[in-house]
Amino acid sequence: MMKQIALGSQGLVVSKLGLGCMGMSEFYGPSDEAQNLATLHRALELGITFWDTSDMYGPHTNERLLGKILAQRRDDVVLATKFGITRDASGGMALNSRPEYVREACDASLQRLGTDVIDLYYQHRVDPEVPIEETVGAMAELVAAGKVRYLGLSEASADEIRRASDVAPISALQTEYSLWSREVEAEILPTTRELGIGFVAYSPLGRGFLTGQIASRDDLDKSDYRLNSPRFSEENMERNLALAEHVIELAAARHVTPAQLALGWVLTRGEDVTAIPGTKHIRYLEENAGAMDIGFSAEELAEIDALFPVGVAAGSRY
């Protein structure tokens, strides 16, 4: 039985290990709908019931994909989706968190997902053109209307988190967190813990780099967005491959896979932390579930701290 945790102090309960569904629609190369649906069904069998999507994944197709499972299994899933990043016909992206758009986006997501309520609704990115107080005020109206149960933010600063919390209860803050992205430990995690907000770690496997499965850019499909990521560039590849090698060595010593070692470390960062690795494949989903059984001694954690300090990766996250 998958461990359940209270994500923040507002009453939201989720599986300790969740599932990021972004890659089932785009970004990480081609995917197959039948395979995606089979993976989602297997996630439920494993107790991985906290699912993360967004209206901009696809765009829109990811929510529709999840809706096919939700039609039969809605009560078994803790559903999180997001608004705030819009896309045009050419793929260009823009931020929009105006109150009127928040309401419009929520209604559209509810329709695509085939549900009458979203468990956790995130602002995908803070819109610098709209005071966060106005956006969160509109989100709180959705809770009052029964369309949303809990509110979340993604990639918000400590100050923005505080300002949002002054308007309405925030249950979760989602930000990248992994062995090569530990910046949240300085200010973000202390802030969420002070305010009773849960933490959702996305890309806990370094967008796949820390699994040991990527040896060069040639291992990625030509449509894979990671080819444009600074950490996957030719100039940064050698240094970052050395980081992946450390994970491989640590995992071999523990008789686990590199993915399990990297993910297991994130899962030990606190009872208020859940992780949402993404995958399209049942075998990787099952491998990720095995990370739940990994513990670390004080000596092992000290070794990891020495190998993976803040800022160790070559290249920025975006």
What are residue 181's DSSP bridge partners? Answer: 178
Q: Write down the number of H helices and E strands in the chain.
A: 10, 12
Q: List the catalytic residue out of 28, 57, 122, 177.
A: 57
> 3-state class of 266 per DSSP?
helix
CA dist 204 and 210 (Å) reads 9
Cis upstream peptide for 190 (omega within 30°): no
**CA distance readout (Å), 296 to 239, 292, 302:** 26, 12, 10
**Taking Cα atoms as reference points, which of 75, 155, 142 lies closest to residue 110?**
142
Residues 6 or more apart whose Cβ sits within 8 Å of residue 282:
38, 39, 42
**CA distance readout (Å), 134 to 86, 97, 102, 139, 164:** 18, 9, 10, 9, 9
- DSSP label at residue 74: G
Q: Residue 269 corresponds to which amino acid?
A: R
| 263 close to 278: Cβ distance less than 8 angstroms | no
Task: Indicate the helix (H) or strand (E) that contains 259.
Answer: helix 258-267
CA dist 158 and 156 (Å) reads 7
Residue 14 — φ and ψ, nearest 5°? -135, 165
CA dist 117 and 128 (Å) reads 28
Residue 221 — φ and ψ, nearest 5°? -65, 150
| 57 catalytically annotated | yes
For the annotated catalytic residues, the residue numbers are 57
